[in-house]
Structure 1
Amino acid sequence: MAMYFNTNILFLAFFAVTGILFSGNNNNMVVGDDCQGDMQGLVAQCAMYVQKSLPKMNPSQQCCSVIQKADMPCVCQHVTKDVEKIIDMEKVIFVAQYCYTVPSPPPIA
């Protein structure tokens, strides 16, 4: 349960950064080379799944792949407070759950 909660917190932070980058308002954010590529990939592949103006839809495999490979602690360092003006937090949770649904283990014989 704690791991599930921590994963959702990381994804909330990820989509916060996605919203900030997607909005084009980067005046308050300095991004180092260490996770710049992660954030660009997140914006390119996932921004459309969390925008308020678009319908809720399943994220692409490319989006999930970027999310699963991103350096989330680095991405989380670049979060500001104006997130909910840009993105839909219900969609954030939906995408996080979709991309991190753990398949059931095979039955023990």
Structure 2
Amino acid sequence: MAKILSLFIFVAFAMVVVANASTTSIGTEGICIGDMFALIPKCIMYVIGPPGAKVKPSQECCDAWLKVDIPCLCSKVNDDVEATIDMEKVVYIADYCKRPLTPGSKCGTYTVPTAGL
């Protein structure tokens, strides 16, 4: 059952990303979308769910996180994405994987806190 739920969440999140990406140009934007599709299956289970307890991400998630264009990905975060993922968990993953988000920067409408969570 958990695998089915994870697959459903992945597909739903991917649809949001594709819908958001359909208005962007090819080129570096395409790379950014590719980064997101590489990141989603490795990390989605660590950023969804109710706010609260954070789970240490897998090494595969961290490996994917270390390769993505973070500013580009943050530019793709819209209301639909923010309704699906917990941005505080994203900050936790970034910190845990030793590639933190820049304090004070924006990722969608979320402002990265200046102190660790």
Q: TM-score, normalised to structure 1's length? A: 0.58
Structure exhibiting the larger radius of gyration computed from Cα positions: 1
Q: Cα RMSD (Å) of the superposition?
A: 2.9
Superposition deviation, residue 92 in structure 1: 1.6
* Residue number among 10, 29, 38 corresponding to 2:21 in the alignment: 29
Q: Give the distance between the partners of 2:76 and 2:19, measured in 1 at CA.
A: 12
Alpha carbons of 1:53 and 1:76: their partners in 2 closer, same or farther (altered >3 Å)?
A: closer
Question: Take 1:27 and 1:94, find their aligned partners in 2: how far apart are those partners?
Answer: 27
Contact 1:34 1:74 (8 Å CA) reproduced: no
Amino acid at match of 2:78: T
Query: How high is the TM-score relative to the length of structure 2?
Result: 0.55
Mark the CA change 1:69 to 1:82 in structure 2 (over 3 Å): closer, same or farther: same
* 1:79 and 2:77 correspond: yes
Aligned residues: 83
Aligned pairs for 1:82-93 (under 5 A) are 82-93=80-91
Alignment match, 2:41:
44
Query: Helix, strand or coil for the counterpart of 1:100?
Result: coil
What per-residue deviation string (whole Å, max 9, x for no partner) do you get for residues 70-102 of structure 1?
122332332213333211222122211111179
Q: Which runs of 5+ in 1 are unaligned?
A: 1-18, 103-109
Deviates more, 1:23-32 or 1:71-80: 23-32
CA contact (8 A) 1:42 1:66 kept: yes
State how far apart, in whole Å, the 2-side matches of 1:84 and 1:78 are. Answer: 10
Instruction: Tell me by how many angstroms 1:23 deviates.
Output: 5.8
Greater RCO, CA 8 A, separation 6+: 1
Q: Distance in 2 between matches of 1:29 and 1:46?
A: 20
